[in-house]
Structure 1
Amino acid sequence: MKIGSFIVMATLVLGACAPTREIPEGRFRIEGRVKNVPKGTILNLVDTEQVEYVIVQADTIRRGKFVFQDTATTSRALVLAIDQEGFPNTWLPVWVDSGKYIRIKGKDKLLDLWTVESDIPEQQESNLYTTCALEERRLLSEATIEQASLLRRLHGTTAISQEEKERLADRLDSVTYEVTALTTALLSKELEYMQTAPKTPMWWERLDRYTKYARYAAKDSAFTNRVRKVFNRLTEEEKEAGDGADIAYYLFMMKSVGIGEAMIDGDLYDREGKVHHLSELEGGYILLDFYGTGCYPCRQALPELEELLEMYPEKLHVVGINREKQEAWIQYLDEVKPAGLQWNEAHAARNGLFKAYGVLPIPHYVLISPERKVVDSWTGYGEGSLKMRLRKWLK
């Protein structure tokens, strides 16, 4: 089916499915009905736009049903999340608004494939991005469930033989490769859709994000070329100003430091505004933790980062690097109290370490040797993954 035909059909279907129910102004109501999800599963409705993730409400699935209702003055994006074994580490975007009724349906544990029905325009747009790559999304969710299970077995408290460890590690490598390939396939489908989709704020946000994903692909890879094709939809004025200029910078101009190359340093600021540099850190390895205050996996990694500092007090420096506004960042530091050095580069613009190390998505980690060479660089977090990654170097 051609992408244009798909858009027309999906829009008609989504519009026809929008449920109607009288909801008072200033309130919203979400009703869900799911199948093949274990009784007692806890659903969290989460606001990810706050400095500290806020669970707006939680509900337990009973007889396949759940309900959320709260206040709303304007449209905003929330997410449904399930933090339990056997579910993918993904979210379901749910837009709410004053006086709106939202209906959710699902048929298994693959949360991000549940359908969200409402007449909120942003939700209908979000649904189009989901439906344009349904099969890739399903396969990716299944693969991430297996990936998380393998990590738990490798780093759990239950003793396993060396032979079993090697078997699990080999399988983990295969699944991780599969996750990467499926992620690329999913994003490629979305980019195909974006070639004709309206240039809304949601469209711009995705173009910005996928441009930065292209940093990890070969210069002339199919994925990078798809991103460039979408970028070329911009007018010359859009390419030269604001977000368009930043996207062009990532896509065409900047080369990030690679493994085996000397580390790049830059101006980093502590909470008092004092400037610091990586070169201040003497001896040992440096683990750069690029994070955002609203990034859930970034927060999940914090206890393990603290454990690493306790395990290797003489061999490891952990430097958390953030680029958000000072006020929000300091509020996060006060509330979360992350371990290690915490520095900010909000003033660095295009010359910061986020761009020097090709960072995005987050969390992103860069390991620097005592000789101040980059020896490893990776994205994402799963339980036990940091210990496994650093064990090779910190013996």
Structure 2
Amino acid sequence: MANKKKKRLVIRTIILSIMAIAVAYTLYASFTKDKHSKVTVGDKAPNFSLVDMNGDRHELSDYKGKGIFLNFWGTYCEPCKDEMPDMENQYKVYKDQGVEILAVNVGEPDYFIEKFLDKYPLSFPVLKDKNRDVRDVYNIYNLPATFLINPEGEIIKIEEGRLTEEKIAAMMESIKP
């Protein structure tokens, strides 16, 4: 009889402990959600540091004074495949006018990125967000996603979905120093 009571006490203690942990986590998550608020137009672009396909490190803050066309993409994304050649064409026009493209691949292995670049050769930096940390900071859920950052480091436009070459040109014109 005493053994059954002891087992019941242990089980109740475990259940109460699990419930206490769940309540504590819920409170923690609700109090810290503002730290991960959505990046919006008018915000200073969150800084990041990523490695490109050549192993060179790129930090967003290194591009201060330039207009940044920050594009998040994936090799599996059909609209990304469509807009990459258009981005390359416009980069050739605007790179000498103070506009940079940073193409951030979201979480894919080098092999897939290399195969993509064999098919779509690009002259702008292709950065690897292996752990999706930058994607999370910028709250990216749909690809492609493009952030226009003016020379002062402020986000002036956020665009999700496929961009036409005309729209890319207009966007780059808007962030030209």
Report the 3-state secondary structure (helix = DSSP H, G, I; strand = E; otherwise coil) of the residue aligned with 2:65.
Answer: coil
Counterpart in the other structure of 1:321: 104
- Where do 1:189-200 residues align within 5 Å? none
Match 1:265 to one of 23, 29, 47? 47
CA distance in 1, matches of 2:172, 2:64: 19
Counterpart in the other structure of 2:128: 344
Counterpart in the other structure of 2:161: 380
Deviations 1:289-313 (A, max 9, x none): 1110011111111222122222222
Are the counterparts in 2 of residues 318 and 341 from structure 1 also a CA contact under 8 Å?
A: yes
**1:293 aligns to 2:75 (yes or no):** yes
Are the counterparts in 2 of residues 292 and 362 from structure 1 also a CA contact under 8 Å?
A: yes
Are the counterparts in 2 of residues 284 and 315 from structure 1 also a CA contact under 8 Å?
A: yes
Question: What TM-score results when the alignment is normalised by the length of structure 2?
Answer: 0.70
Opposite residue 339 of structure 1, the aligned amino acid is: S
Query: Alpha-carbon deviation of 1:282?
Result: 4.5
CA distance in 2, matches of 1:341, 1:382: 19
Are the counterparts in 2 of residues 256 and 355 from structure 1 also a CA contact under 8 Å?
A: no
Opposite residue 125 of structure 2, the aligned amino acid is: L
Unaligned 5+ runs, structure 1:
1-235, 241-248
When you count helix as a share of all residues, which structure comes out higher?
A: 2
Counterpart in the other structure of 1:330: 114
Counterpart in the other structure of 2:66: 284
Are the counterparts in 1 of residues 71 and 102 from structure 2 also a CA contact under 8 Å?
A: yes
CA distance in 2, matches of 1:274, 1:306: 20
Q: Choose between structure 1 and 2 for higher RCO, CA contacts under 8 A separated by at least 6 residues.
A: 2
The percentage of counterpart residues that share the same residue type is 22
Opposite residue 389 of structure 1, the aligned amino acid is: M
Cα RMSD of the aligned pairs, angstroms, is 2.5
Counterpart in the other structure of 2:142: 361
Question: What TM-score results when the alignment is normalised by the length of structure 1?
Answer: 0.33
Change (3 A) 1:382 1:280: closer
Query: Alpha-carbon deviation of 1:369?
Result: 0.9
Opposite residue 320 of structure 1, the aligned amino acid is: A
Change (3 A) 1:394 1:266: closer
Query: Alpha-carbon deviation of 1:382?
Result: 4.1
Query: Alpha-carbon deviation of 1:392?
Result: 3.7
CA distance in 2, matches of 1:316, 1:382: 17
Are the counterparts in 2 of residues 302 and 339 from structure 1 also a CA contact under 8 Å?
A: no
Opposite residue 322 of structure 1, the aligned amino acid is: N
Are the counterparts in 1 of residues 64 and 153 from structure 2 also a CA contact under 8 Å?
A: no
The count of residues paired between Structure 1 and Structure 2 equals 144
Counterpart in the other structure of 1:212: none
- Where do 1:173-322 residues align within 5 Å? 253=33, 254-312=36-94, 313-322=96-105
